[in-house]
Amino acid sequence: HRPLHGKHLLITAGPTHEAIDPVRYLANRSSGKQGFAIAAAAAAAGARVTLVSGPVNLPTPPGVDRIDVESAEEMARAVKEALPADCAVMVAAVADWRPRDYQQEKIKKRGSAPPALMLTENPDILAMVAANSKRPDLLIGFAAETENVVENARKKRKSKGVDWIVANDVSGDVMGGDRNKVHVIRERKADDWEDLTKDQVAARLVQEIAEQLEKVHG
Using CB under 6 A, list all residues that contact ligand C5P: 12, 72, 90-92, 94, 122-126, 141-143, 156
Closer by beta carbon to ligand C5P, 45 or else 165? 165
Distance (Å) of CA 49 to CA 14, 65, 109, 162, 175: 16, 6, 45, 20, 23
Question: Among the options 28, 57, 132, 180, which is catalytic?
Answer: 28
Q: b/e string for 162-174 if b means 16 or more Cβ within 10 A?
A: bbbbbbbbbeeeb
Q: Does the annotation mark 168 as catalytic? A: no
Closer by beta carbon to ligand C5P, 19 or else 107? 19
Measured at the alpha carbon of residue 17, what is the angle toward residues 70 and 89, in degrees to the nearest 5? 65
Q: Is 124 annotated as a binding-site member?
A: yes
Q: How far is the CB of 94 from ligand C5P (least distance, A)?
A: 4
Total residues belonging to the chain: 218
93: nearest Cα among 57, 58, 143 = 143
Q: Is 10 annotated as a binding-site member?
A: no
Closer by beta carbon to ligand C5P, 61 or else 141? 141
Task: Write out the catalytic residue numbers.
Answer: 28
Q: Which residues are annotated as a binding site?
A: 96, 106, 123-126, 142, 156, 160
